[in-house]
Chains A and B, each alone.
Chain A
Amino acid sequence: MNIERLITMANDIATYFTVEPDHATAVEGVRDHLTKFWDPAMRRQLKAHLDHGGEGLNPLAREGVEKLVLPPASGS
């Protein structure tokens, strides 16, 4: 998928959680949101993007994506 779009979406999510005073809770918030609502392929792509430097991701989004636990690739 268009990585730019995924980055924007991840940043939007992180922006919501930025206001959370407890940093660990904020990071967890981002990770949980991605895990609960994003198709695994999208999560995988975003994580791969982070592994390649993660350009464009805001700081909280980076941390959230870093914490993602990915399910084994399946389905195909």
Chain B
Amino acid sequence: MLSIVEVDYGTPKATSKTTVELQIDGKTVRVPQGTSVMRAAAQAGINIPKLCASEMLDAFGSCRLCLVEIEGRKGYPASCTTPVSAGMTVSTQTPRLADLRRGVMELYISDHPLDCLTCPANGHCELQDMAGVVGLREVRYGYDGANHVYAKTPAGETNPLFVAKDESNPYFTFDPSKCIACSRCVRACDEVQGTFALTIQGRGFESKVAASQDNRFLDSECVSCGACVQACPTATLSENTLIEKGQAEHSVVTTCAYCGVGCSFRAEMKGEEVMRMVPNKDGQANHGHSCVKGRFAIGYASHPDRITTPMIRAKISDPWKVVSWDEAFSHVASEFKRLQATHGKQAVGGITSSRCTNEETYLVQKLVRAGFGNNNVDTCARVCHSPTGYGLKSTLGESAGTQDFDSIEQTDVVLVIGANPTDAHPVFGSQMKQRLRAGARLIVIDPRRIDLVRTPHIQADYHLKLKPGTNVAVLDTLAHVIVTEGLVDEAFVSARCEPEAFAKWRAFVAQDKYSPEAMEAETGVPAAAVRGAARLYATGGNGAIYYGLGVTEHAQGSTAVMGIANLAMATGNIGREGVGVNPMRGQNNVQGSCDMGSFPHEFPGYRHVSDVATRTLFEKDWGVPLLGEPGLRIPNMFEAALDGSFRGLYVEGEDIAQSDPDTQHVTAALSAMECIVVQDLFLNETAKYAHVFLPGSSFLEKDGTFTNAERRVSRVRKVMAPKAGYADWEITQKLAQAMGYPMHYSHASEIMDEIARLTPTFHGMSFDKIDQLGSVQWPCNEEHPNGTPVMHVDEFVRGKGRFMLTEYVPTSEKVNAEHPLILTTGRILSQYNVGAQTRRTANVMWHDEDRLEIHPHDAEERGIAEHDWVGIRSRSGDTVLRAMISERMQPGVVYTTFHFPGSGANVITTENSDWATNCPEYKVTAVQVTRVTQPSDWQKRFHAFSDQQQALLDQAQSADTLGQA
């Protein structure tokens, strides 16, 4: 079912610049060439009846309800499949058309149950509407004959055409008795999502919709994106919330809080309760599509595990004590002041998260810099995309992706390296698949055979299945081929890049040691494939690179990012539509949290703290002197905690105890601190080590903005009151006040106004502007008042592009007899990062534990069978998971996800990190894997500790209830 507020124009918008004029029902209408008659009419306010058409899908022409008469043409063409032409004269309502349409509707209704009043779609059903529109008054055929409606025939026999409801999917129900075989669902799954899970089986009256191989939805290929549910004009495919609770009454546009695609949604509400989330057709990042997380997995926001009262305790072995907000704030303030008085100004700091809004992140860094008086602020982007910031800033001059998502429509060659868009960025993954099905070529560089390599109607031209840890080597071999085979775009390079740096780089990559042949043994990639891929990228037309954490989370993460930028510059693939360098951001606001100055060395807008002009600007605005030296990064904070110089930490929305590498090192550091303040929805792993818990608010409970992977700033809108009383920015503000630093914002928009005032790339940004335009891509300022979809167009942000030398340095994490396998980590579609949210939804039906994927050969050698418990040991620690034998792995490489805390994936990862940014090397850990029969010692301790912490929480809550009684 469509959104309750959207109008469906029936067929996709035409993009032609040429306009065509025609007459519809006596009105003169002007539309772009290629528009359907149906859409042209709809734009002129004339609604032609329709059932099989929807503007999200290509016209199909099967229901025959949208017939029109066109002067000079015979018969009754379908308006959805008929394009406009100049001078056309169309009639949409004639007595003959009315008869034909009634006939069509009569047939539909004769095989449809008449229980409209109790049907979930009641009030918003297109079939019902059409019956009304055409004036259907009687149905001459009874249900005695063949039908799909009743389980039994009138004679009491089983009706062979009847199919019972499929309720296997936790979020929606399929009730085939209501299906009109319009195939909108099938087309949505093919065209929009690209999963090809549904088919229409049979012909004519027999035809019915089935999930792949007649499976239940849950057992089919279906990834539960919900596109089919949204496309269905009847109640056949309905959200379970709609079935349980009925229609929404109002709708609010907001932004998904999960991944970096930043899908725009309509939260369809009944009072303060969300009935359904419907992707916004006008959403500029997602164009009306979404994935299972954003559309369905929002139940965590009302999960009983949510903590809604502040709590404090002196030691982590004490029970929690429920306190008032004021007590909590003054407790934190006095503790932090005490720590600073005894151990120095540097003894405390803050960590913000990519899950926070821009406004929240901005306030946290302001609190640290102005309120704590130091620069000890960092963000979880440290552990994912900090190398992107460093690498792109050094080469191109700006720490951000260069394109908008829609740029891919103009791409001829897609190069995906260390990213898994169909799982980690599903909606953009679907858009990429659309482009690939339409003919763009594909190069994948990944140790694993990710889904994209071979999926319906897509086959990668090259899959460079490199050994983990050799990204830089592979990038250098690609560059070598480009340089030595004369594929450099010399005109672009001489016009746009620094000549000396380029000359140095050219000589560097031309060295024999970087030839694909010389590197083959190191990278494991056949030289011919490297040569082919390099030629394709350099000469295949518009080449666009998409990369993810498989590039950044390495000891040479920053080097690899620079290597990518080098390739784009050398081939002239930057500065226009269809090309560029595109970091796929993990969490929803990675880009925003970096933009907002949450790194210890820079103010908002990526300006170094030592820059006097910038610092003076902030000092004036904030009314306090500021430090000109960088502060501690997250891993430095841990080190400083262990040596006793760092004692207090304010963590907003981040779970460092689960997400950071080398868990035992992290928990030792946390245990060494005196005052850890956690602001979150749940008692997460870090909160188990905390002394103060401040209950945060979900994205449904506050106003603000998120910035997605394409620098697009979109609004988050409050649709319900914060469950604990305050939006997160208000909590930070109160904390600042308690610390004696004044903050007086009355709305999140005032924080954005301050950001705009102090940040050149945001000078033109405001909530009003975003409301007006839907969303805005920064830079948004005097030069670009409506934002900037493509960057570096005439010149690079830094002026001339700078080629950087990218020597390949093998990681120190090497396999040996003791640790003969390489472990690499990743994520899957249904779960989100540390899983705190998605684990608290029905998404666990797709993924209820982290498994170790291992190649059959490695498994056999170790006597490991599917589902066996296996111990994984590295030099950092060991844990136990169940095995999943998989050909997607190459021999010698094992893989796991990290969505469940008890899995302890990060007990195994090491302290190794990117040389430039200390982004951890999550993607390469040498391990040994053996069959075992019981959990690891760490897991036993983990469970005992978790049980104890849960008990301490339960005690607090029951004490609180007693207190209130």
CB-CB nearest in chain A for B346: A75
Q: Which of A16, A20, A42, A76 contacts B916 (CB 8 A)?
A: A16
CB-CB < 8 A to A15: which residues of B?
A: 809, 915
Question: Could you tell me if A39 and B629 are in contact, using CB atoms closer than 8 angstroms?
Answer: yes
| B602-632 vs A, Cβ < 8 Å mask (1 yes, 0 no) | 0000001010000000000000000101111
CB-CB nearest in chain A for B555: A12
Asked whether any CB of chain A lies closer than 8 Å to the CB of B42, the reply is: no
CB-CB < 8 A to A21: which residues of B?
A: 504
Question: Could you tell me if A18 and B807 are in contact, using CB atoms closer than 8 angstroms?
Answer: yes
In the bound complex, how far is the Cα of B646 from the Cα of A41, in angstroms? 12
CB-CB < 8 A to A37: which residues of B?
A: 601, 630, 633, 916-917
In the bound complex, how far is the Cα of B506 from the Cα of A21, in angstroms? 13
CB-CB < 8 A to B915: which residues of A?
A: 9, 12-13, 15-16
| Contacts of B887-941 to chain A: CB distance below 8 A | 911, 913, 915-918
Question: Could you tell me if A36 and B643 are in contact, using CB atoms closer than 8 angstroms?
Answer: no
In the bound complex, how far is the Cα of B629 from the Cα of A1, in angstroms? 18
| B574-606 vs A, Cβ < 8 Å mask (1 yes, 0 no) | 000000000000000000000000001100000
Question: Could you tell me if B639 and A41 are in contact, using CB atoms closer than 8 angstroms?
Answer: no
CB-CB nearest in chain B for A40: B629
Question: Could you tell me if B600 and A76 are in contact, using CB atoms closer than 8 angstroms?
Answer: no
| Contacts of B487-529 to chain A: CB distance below 8 A | 504, 508
In the bound complex, how far is the Cα of B630 from the Cα of A75, in angstroms? 13
Chain B: minimal CB distance from A39 (Å): 5
CB-CB nearest in chain A for B610: A36
Chain A: minimal CB distance from B133 (Å): 66
Asked whether any CB of chain B lies closer than 8 Å to the CB of A33, the reply is: yes
| Contacts of A15-70 to chain B: CB distance below 8 A | 15-16, 18-21, 33, 36-42
Question: Could you tell me if A76 and B344 are in contact, using CB atoms closer than 8 angstroms?
Answer: yes
Question: Could you tell me if B374 and A41 are in contact, using CB atoms closer than 8 angstroms?
Answer: no
Q: Which of A18, A20, A33, A41 contacts B645 (CB 8 A)?
A: A41
In the bound complex, how far is the Cα of B646 from the Cα of A1, in angstroms? 10
Question: Could you tell me if A19 and B344 are in contact, using CB atoms closer than 8 angstroms?
Answer: no
Q: Which of A9, A18, A33, A39 contacts B631 (CB 8 A)?
A: A39
CB-CB nearest in chain B for A70: B629
Asked whether any CB of chain A lies closer than 8 Å to the CB of B343, the reply is: yes
Question: Could you tell me if A71 and B629 are in contact, using CB atoms closer than 8 angstroms?
Answer: yes
In the bound complex, how far is the Cα of B375 from the Cα of A38, in angstroms? 11
Q: Which of A1, A5, A13, A71 contacts B911 (CB 8 A)?
A: A5
Chain B: minimal CB distance from A35 (Å): 8
Question: Could you tell me if B346 and A1 are in contact, using CB atoms closer than 8 angstroms?
Answer: no
Chain B: minimal CB distance from A4 (Å): 10
CB-CB < 8 A to A9: which residues of B?
A: 913, 915, 918
CB-CB < 8 A to A39: which residues of B?
A: 346, 375-376, 600, 629-633, 636
Asked whether any CB of chain A lies closer than 8 Å to the CB of B559, the reply is: yes
Known: A19-B807, A39-B600, A42-B636. A76 touches B345 (CB 8 A): yes
Q: Which of A5, A38, A76 contacts B630 (CB 8 A)?
A: A38
Chain B: minimal CB distance from A37 (Å): 6
Question: Could you tell me if B640 and A1 are in contact, using CB atoms closer than 8 angstroms?
Answer: yes
Question: Could you tell me if B345 and A2 are in contact, using CB atoms closer than 8 angstroms?
Answer: no
Question: Could you tell me if A36 and B630 are in contact, using CB atoms closer than 8 angstroms?
Answer: yes
CB-CB nearest in chain A for B562: A16
Asked whether any CB of chain A lies closer than 8 Å to the CB of B743, the reply is: no
Chain B: minimal CB distance from A12 (Å): 4
Known: A1-B640, A2-B639, A16-B915. A36 touches B508 (CB 8 A): no
Q: Which of A12, A36, A42, A75 contacts B601 (CB 8 A)?
A: A36
Chain B: minimal CB distance from A44 (Å): 11
Q: Which of B346, B600, B608 contacts A41 (CB 8 A)?
A: B346
Chain B: minimal CB distance from A10 (Å): 10
Interface size on B, residues (CB 8 A): 37
- Which of A16, A33, A76 is the most central at the interface, judged by chain B CB atoms within 10 Å of its CB? A16
CB-CB nearest in chain A for B609: A36
Chain A: minimal CB distance from B31 (Å): 55
Chain B: minimal CB distance from A55 (Å): 18
In the bound complex, how far is the Cα of B508 from the Cα of A19, in angstroms? 9
In the bound complex, how far is the Cα of B345 from the Cα of A13, in angstroms? 28
In the bound complex, how far is the Cα of B203 from the Cα of A31, in angstroms? 74
Question: Could you tell me if B916 and A33 are in contact, using CB atoms closer than 8 angstroms?
Answer: yes
CB-CB nearest in chain B for A11: B915
In the bound complex, how far is the Cα of B665 from the Cα of A2, in angstroms? 12
Question: Could you tell me if A2 and B643 are in contact, using CB atoms closer than 8 angstroms?
Answer: yes
Chain B: minimal CB distance from A29 (Å): 10
Chain A: minimal CB distance from B807 (Å): 4
CB-CB nearest in chain A for B911: A5
Asked whether any CB of chain A lies closer than 8 Å to the CB of B805, the reply is: yes
CB-CB < 8 A to B100: which residues of A?
A: none
CB-CB < 8 A to B640: which residues of A?
A: 1, 41
Chain A: minimal CB distance from B694 (Å): 26
Q: Which of B374, B504, B610, B636 contacts A1 (CB 8 A)?
A: B636
CB-CB < 8 A to B346: which residues of A?
A: 39, 41, 75-76
CB-CB < 8 A to A20: which residues of B?
A: 805
CB-CB < 8 A to B629: which residues of A?
A: 39-40, 71
Q: Which of B633, B642, B805, B809 contacts A2 (CB 8 A)?
A: B642
In the bound complex, how far is the Cα of B600 from the Cα of A16, in angstroms? 22
CB-CB < 8 A to B631: which residues of A?
A: 39
Question: Could you tell me if A75 and B344 are in contact, using CB atoms closer than 8 angstroms?
Answer: yes
Question: Could you tell me if B343 and A36 are in contact, using CB atoms closer than 8 angstroms?
Answer: no
| B631-657 vs A, Cβ < 8 Å mask (1 yes, 0 no) | 111001001101101000000000000
In the bound complex, how far is the Cα of B601 from the Cα of A20, in angstroms? 25
In the bound complex, how far is the Cα of B501 from the Cα of A21, in angstroms? 11
Known: A1-B643, A13-B915. A36 touches B608 (CB 8 A): yes
Chain B: minimal CB distance from A23 (Å): 14
Chain A: minimal CB distance from B732 (Å): 22
In the bound complex, how far is the Cα of B629 from the Cα of A36, in angstroms? 8
CB-CB < 8 A to A19: which residues of B?
A: 508, 805, 807
In the bound complex, how far is the Cα of B145 from the Cα of A26, in angstroms? 86
In the bound complex, how far is the Cα of B808 from the Cα of A18, in angstroms? 11
Chain B: minimal CB distance from A69 (Å): 12
Question: Could you tell me if B630 and A16 are in contact, using CB atoms closer than 8 angstroms?
Answer: no
Chain A: minimal CB distance from B502 (Å): 14
Q: Which of A16, A36, A42 contacts B807 (CB 8 A)?
A: A16
CB-CB < 8 A to B343: which residues of A?
A: 76
In the bound complex, how far is the Cα of B395 from the Cα of A30, in angstroms? 17
Known: A39-B631, A75-B374, A76-B345. A13 touches B643 (CB 8 A): no
Chain A: minimal CB distance from B200 (Å): 57
CB-CB < 8 A to B636: which residues of A?
A: 1, 39, 42
In the bound complex, how far is the Cα of B642 from the Cα of A37, in angstroms? 21
Chain A: minimal CB distance from B863 (Å): 37
CB-CB < 8 A to A12: which residues of B?
A: 555, 913, 915
CB-CB < 8 A to A18: which residues of B?
A: 807
In the bound complex, how far is the Cα of B917 from the Cα of A46, in angstroms? 18
In the bound complex, how far is the Cα of B608 from the Cα of A1, in angstroms? 24
Question: Could you tell me if A1 and B807 are in contact, using CB atoms closer than 8 angstroms?
Answer: no
Chain B: minimal CB distance from A43 (Å): 9
CB-CB < 8 A to A33: which residues of B?
A: 916
Chain B: minimal CB distance from A19 (Å): 4
Chain A: minimal CB distance from B507 (Å): 9
Q: Which 3 A-B pairs have the closest CB atoms?
A: A76-B344, A12-B915, A19-B807
Q: A13-B915, A75-B346 are in contact. List 16 more A-B contacts (CB 8 A).
A: A1-B642, A2-B642, A15-B809, A16-B559, A18-B807, A19-B508, A20-B805, A21-B504, A36-B630, A37-B601, A39-B629, A39-B630, A39-B632, A71-B629, A76-B345, A76-B346
Q: What are 12 sample pairs from A and B whose C-beta atoms fall under 8 A apart?
A: A2-B639, A9-B913, A16-B807, A20-B805, A33-B916, A37-B917, A38-B630, A39-B629, A39-B630, A39-B636, A75-B346, A76-B343
- Residues of A at the B interface (CB closer than 8 Å) are 1-2, 5, 9, 12-13, 15-16, 18-21, 33, 36-42, 71, 75-76
- Residues of B at the A interface (CB closer than 8 Å) are 343-346, 373-376, 504, 508, 555, 559, 600-601, 608, 610, 627, 629-633, 636, 639-640, 642-643, 645, 805, 807, 809, 911, 913, 915-918
